[in-house]
Amino acid sequence: MAAGVAAITSAFPEWQWARVEMTLGFVALLMVGNLRGVREAGRIFAAPTYFFIASMLLVIGVGAWRYCTGSLAPVAAAAGPTTTSTGLLTTFAILTAFSTAARR
């Protein structure tokens, strides 16, 4: 839900103020759909699924069309070097793996 609301609010920045309300609304919609039963839930969730599939096919089609016609613009490089600091995260992941294995 959070990723979906983040995608919506990145497309429509003026809706940033309603992030929590939209997330709760989507959770309530999902809850109602799941409480209706398997057959009704399938009907409720079919429309968003078909919309997602159609939009992905549209994005792929537009990309293929732009590639075939030569109208793709190159992506600009990042301004400056990027830094990554994964040392602490790697150490944490390794320690977590060892502690989980020690408990079994």
* Tens digits of pLDDT across the chain (104 residues): 888 888 888 888 898 899 999 999 989 988 888 887 778 778 878 888 898 899 999 999 999 999 999 888 887 877 777 666 667 778 888 888 888 776 55
How much is the mean pLDDT over the chain? 84
- Say what the pLDDT of residue 24 is: 94
Query: How many angstroms separate the Cα of 64 from the Cα of each of 16, 21, 50, 56, 73?
Result: 33, 37, 21, 12, 13
As a whole number of angstroms, the distance between CA 37 and CA 31 comes to 11
pTM (predicted TM-score): 0.52
Q: Cβ(27)–Cβ(5) under 8 Å?
A: no
pLDDT tens readout for residues 78-90: 777 766 666 777 8
